[in-house]
Amino acid sequence: MTQPRITLLASQERTLATYLDGHPLGHERGAIVLFRRFCWSSPDVPESDRYLAIDVIPFDDGWITSSSGSNVAFELKHFREVFRRCEEELLVFGFAHNHPGGPLGFSEVDDENEKTLLQALRNRNGPAVHLVALLRSQGAWKARVRFAGSPDSAQAARHVLIVNQPLSIHLDDSVSSKDEALARQAAAFGKPFVEQFRSLRVAVIGAGGTGSPTTTLLARSGIGEIVVIDGDRLEASNLNRVRGARATDIAKNKARLIRDYVQSLGLPVRVAMIEEYVDLSPEAVDALASCDVVFGCTDDQIGRELLNAALYVYGNAYIDTGLGGQITQGPAGDPYLRYHFGRVSTILPESGECLFCQGVLSEVWIRHQYATRANPDLTHEELRDRYLEGGGEQAPGIGPFTSAVADYGVATLFDLVRPFRKFPPELRRDFFTIDFVRMQFRSRQFNGNSDCVYCQQRSLLLMAEEYRLNRPALGKRHACV
């Protein structure tokens, strides 16, 4: 599936739908949508550019020369400033319109309008430009991309993804699959669910006790493309919980192990790997930006902090999983689990508290990890003297618990695509824990920190980048060519 993928945030889709469907006489309307284009290539997954909407500009009434229930005509001279912005900010121009009474697909008039727009854009910005066309009809979206080098042909988008609660995935008509292995999922959730899952590209950060079963479950659930990112190597102590690992695999990279294992299953899924830590790898960040959904399965606070920022910049749906607990000694000196829990956090760019507000991340814990990364020999006393006490979710990795958390994490993606869960009032959709000792589900109270730059002020939402995530150590963001 080399088709491009289009992403709109929930607020952008509401703005577009309200404007396009709101003409008092039921006429067709048009709007400009500006996109960032993210591309990432790997031998293991097909190329599929992701276009992330960053701005929606409804047509001003003065731009429109005529309109009816089947057509909208406009003057191109009003677009010059937008064309300039596309050139200077490396954005892709998009044209959105509606068909108030149908048809469901693009028309011959749409073809001519797009080619006219593309020619005007080429005259201003050069021969490398291209255009994203969005069509809304009967509540559904379709999209395609047209390039200046071949203006008479258009490439249909694999899907239009609305990042909302729940996710809304509008598929291209050609996306269809028949797989006996997924027949029971189709029976439970419907055939469109299977096809929607197939259209997604998902990143899994961490390939250990939680990440390896997460990857396996995603592959078995029909996800089309998976990118696994981990710089760790397998240790003997990991064999109790890492899927697909054998004693002969000790010292091999975990991302490579799970990639090879999933490929050996013979399922219709494409799996790529990056054998690096996400916070140190420009390629890993580029891969994140190209994905629709990201699973955080790392116990590293530094990496998790990067993922917490990236979900806002790149508009990903983000599911973070972890474990916590405490072991104490009984009267006879034997260890026992005082408590042990798994956690699932679900954060969308415009809903859900961020990992800092959920208490999963802490600046002190992050500084602690930076200090120990720079000097692994620091003692506990030295860290305490520097006010760098460790923290976060620390628990022994036990196979049934890590697997159970992976189960709940992947089931959360099912619920995002096709809601089925019934949450009691005391549980939050964006944060809940599973207590494996007391067999209870819990949620913390909302933090309610109005000063949070991530989930309240949203300072990073769709942020423009000079460097990747504006972190110089990750290198400059390059335009796709």
For 47-86, the pLDDT digits (tens) are 999 999 999 999 999 999 999 998 999 999 999 999 999 9
Whether 2 has a pLDDT exceeding 90, the answer reads no
Helix, strand or coil, per DSSP, at residue 352: coil
Mean pLDDT calculated for residue range 245-260: 96
What are the backbone angles phi and psi of residue 39, rounded to the nearest 5°?
A: -130, 145
Asked whether residue 172 carries a pLDDT value surpassing 90, the answer given is no
Spatial distance between the Cα atoms of 321 and 319, rounded to a whole number of angstroms: 7
pLDDT at 374: 79
Residue 54 in 3-state DSSP? strand
pLDDT of residue 382 exceeding 60, the answer is no
Q: Residue 103, preceding bond cis, omega within 30 degrees? A: yes
- The maximal CA–CA distance of the chain, rounded, in angstroms, is 87
* CA atoms of 284 and 272, how far apart (whole Å): 11
- State yes or no: pLDDT of 395 exceeds 90: no
CA 477 to chain centre: 18
pLDDT at 383: 45
Right CATH for 5-171 from 3.40.140.10, 3.40.50.10490, 3.20.20.220, 3.30.70.20: 3.40.140.10
pLDDT band at 406 (very low <50, low <70, confident <90, very high): very high
- pTM (2 d.p.): 0.95
Question: pLDDT, tens digit, for every residue of 454-471?
Answer: 999 999 999 999 999 999
- Mean predicted confidence (pLDDT) in 414-427: 96
Judged by average pLDDT, the poorest of 32-46, 135-149, 270-284, 384-398 is: 384-398
SS (H, E, C) 96-163: EEECECECCCCCHHHHHHHHHHHHHHHHHHCCCCEEEEEEEECCEEEEEEEECCCCCCCEECCEEEEE
The rounded distance, in Å, linking the Cα atoms of 274 and 271 is: 10
Domain ranges of the chain: 5-171, 180-474
For residues 131 and 92, is the Cβ–Cβ distance under 8 A?
yes
| Element at 385 (helix H, strand E) | helix 380-385
- pLDDT, tens only, 31-53: 999 999 999 989 999 999 999 99
How many Cβ atoms are within 10 Å of 296's Cβ, its own excluded? 31
Average pLDDT over residues 108-116: 94
pLDDT tens per residue across span 223-234:
999 999 999 999
Same CATH fold assignment for domains 5-171 and 180-474:
no
Tell me the average pLDDT of the chain: 92
Proportion of the chain above pLDDT 90, given as a percent: 81
Q: Rounded distance, CA 139 to CA 154, Å? A: 22
Backbone angles phi, psi at 317, to 5 degrees: -80, 130
Q: Where do we find the tokens 């991302």?
A: 255
Reply yes or no on whether the pLDDT at 273 is more than 50. Answer: yes
In the chain, count H helices and then E strands: 12, 19
Which option is the CATH number for 180-474: 2.160.20.10, 3.40.50.300, 3.40.50.720, 2.40.100.10? 3.40.50.720
- The strand pairing partners of 223, in sequence order, are none
74 vs 8: CA distance, rounded Å: 24
* pLDDT at residue 254 is higher than 70: yes
Asked if residues 47 and 270 have their Cβ atoms less than 8 Å apart, the reply is no
**Is a pLDDT exceeding 50 seen at residue 141?**
yes
